[in-house]
Chain A
Protein backbone atom coordinates (compact mmCIF):
# COMPACT_ATOMS: atom_id res chain seq x y z
CA UNK A 1 0.00 0.00 0.00
CA UNK A 2 2.84 2.36 0.81
CA UNK A 3 4.10 1.81 -2.72
CA UNK A 4 0.73 2.77 -4.18
CA UNK A 5 0.59 5.93 -2.10
CA UNK A 6 4.12 6.82 -3.25
CA UNK A 7 3.07 6.24 -6.87
CA UNK A 8 0.08 8.52 -6.41
CA UNK A 9 2.25 11.16 -4.77
CA UNK A 10 4.71 11.11 -7.67
CA UNK A 11 1.78 11.31 -10.12
CA UNK A 12 0.42 14.32 -8.20
CA UNK A 13 3.89 15.88 -8.10
CA UNK A 14 4.19 15.49 -11.87
CA UNK A 15 0.75 17.03 -12.43
CA UNK A 16 1.22 19.81 -9.84
CA UNK A 17 2.30 22.46 -12.38
CA UNK A 18 -1.01 21.97 -14.21
CA UNK A 19 -3.43 21.66 -11.30
CA UNK A 20 -3.70 25.38 -10.65
CA UNK A 21 -1.67 27.04 -13.43
CA UNK A 22 -3.63 25.03 -16.02
CA UNK A 23 -6.85 26.72 -14.92
CA UNK A 24 -7.14 30.21 -16.48
CA UNK A 25 -9.56 31.46 -13.81
CA UNK A 26 -7.28 30.32 -10.98
CA UNK A 27 -4.38 32.09 -12.73
CA UNK A 28 -6.47 35.26 -13.25
CA UNK A 29 -7.30 35.30 -9.52
CA UNK A 30 -3.62 34.76 -8.66
CA UNK A 31 -4.22 31.45 -6.87
CA UNK A 32 -1.14 29.43 -5.96
CA UNK A 33 -0.78 25.73 -5.19
CA UNK A 34 0.97 25.16 -1.85
CA UNK A 35 0.76 21.36 -1.73
CA UNK A 36 -1.24 18.40 -2.95
CA UNK A 37 -1.07 14.93 -1.38
CA UNK A 38 -3.40 11.91 -1.80
CA UNK A 39 -5.81 13.24 0.81
CA UNK A 40 -5.22 16.96 0.99
CA UNK A 41 -4.78 20.10 -1.11
CA UNK A 42 -3.58 23.50 0.10
CA UNK A 43 -3.93 26.66 -1.99
CA UNK A 44 -3.29 30.36 -1.43
CA UNK A 45 -5.03 33.49 -2.68
CA UNK A 46 -2.63 36.43 -2.31
CA UNK A 47 -4.38 39.64 -1.23
CA UNK A 48 -5.03 41.89 -4.21
CA UNK A 49 -6.71 45.30 -4.43
CA UNK A 50 -8.72 44.31 -7.51
CA UNK A 51 -10.32 41.42 -5.58
CA UNK A 52 -11.71 43.63 -2.80
CA UNK A 53 -15.47 43.26 -2.32
CA UNK A 54 -16.34 46.39 -0.36
CA UNK A 55 -14.03 49.41 -0.88
CA UNK A 56 -15.03 50.75 2.56
CA UNK A 57 -13.79 47.70 4.48
CA UNK A 58 -11.15 46.58 1.91
CA UNK A 59 -12.10 42.97 2.69
CA UNK A 60 -11.65 40.43 -0.14
CA UNK A 61 -14.96 39.58 -1.84
CA UNK A 62 -16.64 36.39 -0.64
CA UNK A 63 -16.50 35.19 -4.24
CA UNK A 64 -12.70 34.99 -4.07
CA UNK A 65 -12.96 32.69 -1.05
CA UNK A 66 -15.69 30.70 -2.87
CA UNK A 67 -13.51 30.17 -5.95
CA UNK A 68 -10.43 29.32 -3.85
CA UNK A 69 -12.34 26.78 -1.74
CA UNK A 70 -14.00 25.30 -4.84
CA UNK A 71 -10.64 24.81 -6.52
CA UNK A 72 -8.91 23.40 -3.41
CA UNK A 73 -11.83 21.01 -2.78
CA UNK A 74 -11.70 19.89 -6.42
CA UNK A 75 -7.98 19.13 -6.11
CA UNK A 76 -8.49 17.15 -2.88
CA UNK A 77 -11.25 15.14 -4.61
CA UNK A 78 -9.06 14.58 -7.68
CA UNK A 79 -6.18 13.40 -5.47
CA UNK A 80 -8.53 11.32 -3.30
CA UNK A 81 -9.90 9.51 -6.36
CA UNK A 82 -6.43 8.49 -7.47
CA UNK A 83 -5.34 11.45 -9.60
CA UNK A 84 -6.68 10.00 -12.85
CA UNK A 85 -10.16 11.31 -13.54
CA UNK A 86 -11.10 14.97 -13.48
CA UNK A 87 -14.07 15.58 -11.23
CA UNK A 88 -17.21 17.66 -11.56
CA UNK A 89 -18.52 19.54 -8.52
CA UNK A 90 -22.00 18.37 -7.50
CA UNK A 91 -22.44 20.90 -4.75
CA UNK A 92 -20.48 23.24 -2.56
CA UNK A 93 -21.72 24.51 0.77
CA UNK A 94 -19.90 27.45 2.38
CA UNK A 95 -20.12 29.03 5.82
CA UNK A 96 -18.57 32.47 6.12
CA UNK A 97 -17.35 32.74 9.72
CA UNK A 98 -15.82 36.20 9.60
CA UNK A 99 -14.34 38.65 7.09
CA UNK A 100 -10.71 37.99 6.12
CA UNK A 101 -8.33 40.67 7.44
CA UNK A 102 -7.63 43.29 4.76
CA UNK A 103 -4.09 42.87 3.42
CA UNK A 104 -3.74 39.22 4.36
CA UNK A 105 -3.56 36.24 1.99
CA UNK A 106 -6.28 33.62 2.31
CA UNK A 107 -5.22 29.97 2.47
CA UNK A 108 -7.59 27.07 1.76
CA UNK A 109 -6.92 23.62 3.19
CA UNK A 110 -9.12 20.88 1.73
CA UNK A 111 -9.26 17.29 2.97
CA UNK A 112 -10.88 14.40 1.12
CA UNK A 113 -12.96 12.61 3.76
CA UNK A 114 -14.00 9.72 1.56
CA UNK A 115 -13.46 8.78 -2.07
CA UNK A 116 -14.81 5.62 -3.60
CA UNK A 117 -16.06 4.67 -7.02
CA UNK A 118 -17.38 7.76 -8.72
CA UNK A 119 -17.80 10.00 -5.66
CA UNK A 120 -15.61 12.04 -3.34
CA UNK A 121 -16.56 14.05 -0.27
CA UNK A 122 -14.38 16.93 0.83
CA UNK A 123 -14.24 19.28 3.82
CA UNK A 124 -12.22 22.46 3.76
CA UNK A 125 -11.36 25.56 5.73
CA UNK A 126 -10.11 28.94 4.58
CA UNK A 127 -8.01 31.03 6.97
CA UNK A 128 -5.90 34.18 6.88
CA UNK A 129 -2.99 32.97 8.98
CA UNK A 130 -4.39 30.91 11.83
CA UNK A 131 -6.10 27.63 10.83
CA UNK A 132 -7.84 27.51 14.23
CA UNK A 133 -9.64 30.78 13.43
CA UNK A 134 -11.07 30.15 9.93
CA UNK A 135 -12.71 32.82 7.79
CA UNK A 136 -14.84 30.16 6.08
CA UNK A 137 -15.50 26.44 6.01
CA UNK A 138 -16.76 24.34 3.12
CA UNK A 139 -18.22 20.93 2.41
CA UNK A 140 -18.38 19.67 -1.14
CA UNK A 141 -19.34 16.57 -3.10
CA UNK A 142 -17.73 15.61 -6.40
CA UNK A 143 -18.28 12.97 -9.00
CA UNK A 144 -16.40 11.59 -11.97
CA UNK A 145 -18.66 12.44 -14.89
CA UNK A 146 -18.32 11.28 -18.48
CA UNK A 147 -17.50 14.85 -19.52
CA UNK A 148 -14.75 15.11 -16.92
CA UNK A 149 -13.39 11.64 -17.77
CA UNK A 150 -13.03 12.66 -21.41
CA UNK A 151 -11.39 15.90 -20.31
CA UNK A 152 -8.93 13.96 -18.15
CA UNK A 153 -8.08 11.75 -21.13
CA UNK A 154 -7.31 14.88 -23.20
CA UNK A 155 -5.31 16.31 -20.30
CA UNK A 156 -3.11 13.19 -20.11
CA UNK A 157 -2.61 13.30 -23.86
CA UNK A 158 -1.71 17.01 -23.83
CA UNK A 159 0.55 16.43 -20.84
CA UNK A 160 2.38 13.51 -22.46
CA UNK A 161 2.86 15.54 -25.64
CA UNK A 162 4.18 18.44 -23.60
CA UNK A 163 1.61 20.87 -24.97
CA UNK A 164 -0.12 23.36 -22.74
CA UNK A 165 -3.85 22.78 -22.29
CA UNK A 166 -4.19 26.52 -21.71
CA UNK A 167 -3.62 27.17 -25.41
CA UNK A 168 -6.90 25.36 -26.12
CA UNK A 169 -9.02 27.96 -24.34
CA UNK A 170 -11.36 29.70 -26.80
CA UNK A 171 -10.77 33.42 -27.00
CA UNK A 172 -13.40 35.86 -25.81
Chain B
Protein backbone atom coordinates (compact mmCIF):
# COMPACT_ATOMS: atom_id res chain seq x y z
CA UNK B 1 0.00 0.00 0.00
CA UNK B 2 2.88 2.35 0.81
CA UNK B 3 4.07 2.04 -2.80
CA UNK B 4 0.62 3.03 -4.04
CA UNK B 5 0.85 6.22 -1.98
CA UNK B 6 4.28 7.21 -3.36
CA UNK B 7 2.94 9.69 -5.95
CA UNK B 8 0.96 11.41 -3.18
CA UNK B 9 3.89 11.47 -0.76
CA UNK B 10 6.10 13.04 -3.42
CA UNK B 11 3.64 15.91 -3.89
CA UNK B 12 5.33 19.12 -2.69
CA UNK B 13 2.10 20.39 -1.08
CA UNK B 14 1.54 17.12 0.81
CA UNK B 15 5.14 17.38 2.09
CA UNK B 16 4.64 21.05 3.05
CA UNK B 17 1.55 20.08 5.05
CA UNK B 18 3.50 17.23 6.68
CA UNK B 19 0.76 14.63 6.06
CA UNK B 20 1.68 11.02 6.96
CA UNK B 21 -0.16 7.72 6.54
CA UNK B 22 -0.57 4.76 8.81
CA UNK B 23 -1.92 1.59 7.28
CA UNK B 24 -3.02 -1.53 9.05
CA UNK B 25 -4.41 -4.18 6.72
CA UNK B 26 -7.16 -2.50 4.74
CA UNK B 27 -7.47 0.44 7.16
CA UNK B 28 -5.63 3.57 6.05
CA UNK B 29 -5.44 6.50 8.44
CA UNK B 30 -4.09 9.86 7.34
CA UNK B 31 -2.33 11.96 9.98
CA UNK B 32 -1.90 15.73 9.95
CA UNK B 33 0.75 16.35 12.63
CA UNK B 34 0.19 19.60 14.52
CA UNK B 35 2.43 22.57 13.82
CA UNK B 36 1.81 26.23 14.59
CA UNK B 37 1.54 26.84 10.82
CA UNK B 38 -1.82 25.02 10.77
CA UNK B 39 -3.51 27.49 13.12
CA UNK B 40 -6.20 29.59 11.47
CA UNK B 41 -7.44 31.61 14.39
CA UNK B 42 -4.89 31.97 17.19
CA UNK B 43 -7.47 33.45 19.59
CA UNK B 44 -9.73 30.37 19.86
CA UNK B 45 -7.19 28.74 19.11
CA UNK B 46 -8.38 26.61 16.21
CA UNK B 47 -6.77 25.02 13.19
CA UNK B 48 -7.51 26.67 9.81
CA UNK B 49 -10.68 25.28 8.23
CA UNK B 50 -8.99 25.39 4.85
CA UNK B 51 -6.10 23.27 6.14
CA UNK B 52 -8.57 20.69 7.45
CA UNK B 53 -10.43 20.71 4.12
CA UNK B 54 -7.16 20.29 2.22
CA UNK B 55 -6.09 17.46 4.55
CA UNK B 56 -9.36 15.64 3.88
CA UNK B 57 -8.86 16.08 0.10
CA UNK B 58 -5.42 14.45 0.50
CA UNK B 59 -7.05 11.66 2.54
CA UNK B 60 -9.60 11.07 -0.25
CA UNK B 61 -6.78 10.83 -2.82
CA UNK B 62 -4.96 8.35 -0.57
CA UNK B 63 -8.07 6.17 -0.21
CA UNK B 64 -8.43 6.07 -4.01
CA UNK B 65 -4.74 5.31 -4.62
CA UNK B 66 -4.79 2.57 -1.98
CA UNK B 67 -7.89 1.00 -3.51
CA UNK B 68 -7.01 0.84 -7.22
CA UNK B 69 -3.78 1.24 -9.22
CA UNK B 70 -4.05 4.71 -10.78
CA UNK B 71 -1.98 6.21 -13.60
CA UNK B 72 -2.21 9.72 -12.12
CA UNK B 73 -3.17 11.48 -8.90
CA UNK B 74 -6.97 11.80 -8.51
CA UNK B 75 -8.27 15.30 -9.32
CA UNK B 76 -11.09 16.84 -7.29
CA UNK B 77 -14.20 17.76 -9.32
CA UNK B 78 -16.30 19.01 -6.45
CA UNK B 79 -16.08 18.72 -2.69
CA UNK B 80 -18.35 19.69 0.16
CA UNK B 81 -16.94 20.15 3.65
CA UNK B 82 -18.97 20.27 6.87
CA UNK B 83 -17.21 21.81 9.85
CA UNK B 84 -18.54 20.06 12.94
CA UNK B 85 -16.33 21.26 15.80
CA UNK B 86 -13.42 23.69 16.14
CA UNK B 87 -10.23 21.70 15.49
CA UNK B 88 -7.89 22.30 18.43
CA UNK B 89 -4.11 22.79 18.12
CA UNK B 90 -3.20 19.09 18.08
CA UNK B 91 -2.86 16.27 15.52
CA UNK B 92 -5.78 15.48 13.20
CA UNK B 93 -6.63 12.04 11.84
CA UNK B 94 -8.84 11.11 8.87
CA UNK B 95 -10.12 8.11 7.00
CA UNK B 96 -11.81 7.95 3.61
CA UNK B 97 -14.45 5.59 2.30
CA UNK B 98 -15.04 5.13 -1.41
CA UNK B 99 -18.81 5.30 -1.72
CA UNK B 100 -18.87 4.54 -5.42
CA UNK B 101 -16.15 4.11 -7.97
CA UNK B 102 -16.84 4.22 -11.69
CA UNK B 103 -14.40 4.07 -14.60
CA UNK B 104 -13.62 7.80 -14.44
CA UNK B 105 -15.28 9.28 -11.39
CA UNK B 106 -15.30 8.19 -7.76
CA UNK B 107 -17.43 9.44 -4.89
CA UNK B 108 -15.51 9.56 -1.62
CA UNK B 109 -16.46 10.37 1.98
CA UNK B 110 -13.93 11.42 4.58
CA UNK B 111 -14.20 12.03 8.30
CA UNK B 112 -11.57 13.84 10.37
CA UNK B 113 -11.22 13.63 14.13
CA UNK B 114 -8.85 14.45 16.98
CA UNK B 115 -9.47 12.87 20.39
CA UNK B 116 -12.29 10.50 19.56
CA UNK B 117 -13.26 9.05 16.22
CA UNK B 118 -16.87 9.29 17.38
CA UNK B 119 -16.56 13.08 17.68
CA UNK B 120 -15.46 14.18 14.19
CA UNK B 121 -14.20 17.75 13.70
CA UNK B 122 -15.07 17.80 9.98
CA UNK B 123 -16.48 15.67 7.19
CA UNK B 124 -16.00 15.84 3.43
CA UNK B 125 -17.72 14.25 0.50
CA UNK B 126 -16.82 14.81 -3.10
CA UNK B 127 -16.26 13.54 -6.61
CA UNK B 128 -12.79 12.85 -7.93
CA UNK B 129 -11.62 12.26 -11.48
CA UNK B 130 -9.55 9.09 -11.65
CA UNK B 131 -7.45 7.43 -14.34
CA UNK B 132 -7.16 3.68 -13.69
CA UNK B 133 -3.78 2.27 -14.74
CA UNK B 134 -5.25 -0.23 -17.22
CA UNK B 135 -6.56 2.64 -19.36
CA UNK B 136 -3.22 4.41 -19.79
Contact = CB atoms under 8 A, between A and B. Distances in A.
Interface in A30-59: 49-56
Interface stretch (B21-29, B81-89, B94-102): B81-89
B43 A63 contact: no
Contacts of A89: 49, 81, 83
B48 A71 contact: yes
A88 B43 contact: no
Contacts of B82: 90-91
A66 B50 contact: yes
Chain B residues touching A, range: 35 or more
A169 B78 contact: no
B44 A49 contact: no
Contacts, number: 160
A5 interface: no
Nearest to A60: B13
Nearest to B17: A63
Chain B contact residues: helix, strand, loop or mixed:
mixed
21 contacts: A23-B40, A23-B42, A24-B42, A25-B40, A25-B50, A50-B15, A52-B12, A54-B11, A61-B54, A62-B54, A63-B13, A63-B17, A71-B48, A88-B83, A89-B49, A92-B81, A94-B79, A95-B78, A99-B75, A168-B43, A170-B36
Lowest 8 A-B CB distances belong to which pairs?
A63-B54, A67-B50, A61-B13, A25-B48, A70-B50, A28-B37, A151-B43, A172-B35
Interface of B: 7, 10-17, 33-51, 53-55, 57-58, 72-73, 75-83, 86, 89
Interface of A: 22-28, 49-56, 60-64, 66-71, 74, 86, 88-96, 99, 147-148, 150-152, 154-155, 158, 165-166, 168-172
